[in-house]
Structure 1
Amino acid sequence: MFSPSITAFWQTPFDNGEIIQGADGLSITINPELAHDRRVTVLDDLDGRVRVALTPALAERIGLRAETTWSAESFREALAGAGITLHDADFIFYFDRDAKDRLLGEADADGVRMLGERDADAFAAFEAANTEQDLDDAYVELDHWAVIGAHQDGKLVSATSAYPWGESLLADLGVLTLPAARGKGHARNVVRAIARHVYSRGYEPQYRCQLDNETSRALADKAGLSLFGTWEVVSAETED
């Protein structure tokens, strides 16, 4: 359903290390190569299985033993008991193969184009017209790897930007639309436009949002993206 580069990226943390449990709906891998900010990684791929990877130090901290059968619930209880917290989960979306073919067969909508330095003033005005919370949630920046905007009557009303996600072939994107311009298809148009651009550079577009963001979830559906799973990593508040 999804590109091999997507599935390979997400499988890597759970393949590299000692698999101490691989059944009963929960697989657990002790992986000493996890980055510090992902030293606990949890992926629910929505097929009835939850995959967990964590470093040996944190496995020791929660008393993880191969001879114990863990459930997702008991594992989370062990994390909490050891003072290890996770960030709020994100939904992760991608274009499946059929949706990608349809996407690449389309042209950009009228008023949609790449943004650059010449758009600095317009982009600053666009940012000023949005709330700080919306700016933080969207993380759309003019100096990102790729930036595309939608214009209405010559005014920038929606923008999306993307950047390579770590060392992967995934490009993470955000999108932001002026409050008065929402519900008119601008966000869908820029998301699909930047996805085409991302594909042209050899990457897979990735769309994320938190589980309680119904508006962002609806946009993913309208843009033709499919839900891959939910993802959690250790919170920055967790001490070593």
Structure 2
Amino acid sequence: MIQKNHVVVVGARDEDVPNSKSLAVCKCIVCIFITFLLVVNLLVVTRLNSMSQEIEALKIIVSGNLNSVSYKSDEENTYMKFADFDGYQENEDQLIPDNIEETENQSKNVEYFEMSSSQERENDTDDDTRNDTREEATYSPDFRERENSFEHHGSFKHKHLEVLTERHPRVGRIKPLPSAHFSGDTSRYILGQHPNFNGNGHLKHLQRMFMDWKPSEWAHHTGLDSHFQSTIWTSTT
């Protein structure tokens, strides 16, 4: 039998009986844990209360905006104003507006609305008339006949001279335009229309070099001296 701290323990050793120091440490750990839980709970409750207050404040702000701002379209708001003003006019004896300036502004709005509406209707009528006239002119037999009679703008290759000629419908005549693409060899030229040829003797080289030939140089390099002397020379002079 061992008696320790006024507690009788039967069949136990001295090492099995906890002393006062170990019990104090356990109590201290338990107290710290309980204190931590209380602090965490206090923080959570405080945060929840603040969030609820913020939510209530936001609700008040949103409700105030909903009451002050109308989410109807401009057209609906305009008609509502006109309906109120019509009510004043129909029941002049019963409904007397408190603000005379507001009534005058509403009458001005009504006049402006009627004027703008009539103007819009006139514009729509003019647009419809113009569209109908354009469609009638486009699909009329006279328009198609004139279109078919015009010479289509384009270029074709002359059978005898092997040079490009271009039609000019507005001028009413065919003017031969020589076009040669320099292929890199001075003794070889490819006769044909090149996308870099702009029609006035300027030709862009593949390496971005520009060749500016006079009409006599065109005739000399293409070997068509007699042709150009008899056509271009005489037409320019």
**Do they superpose with TM above 0.5?**
no
Hey, which of these two has a bigger chunk of strand by percent? Answer: 1
Q: TM-score, normalised by structure 2?
A: 0.20
Hey, which of these two has a bigger chunk of helix by percent? Answer: 2
Higher relative contact order (CA 8 A, sep 6+): 1
The structure having more radius of gyration, on CA atoms, is 2
Q: TM-score, normalised by structure 1?
A: 0.19
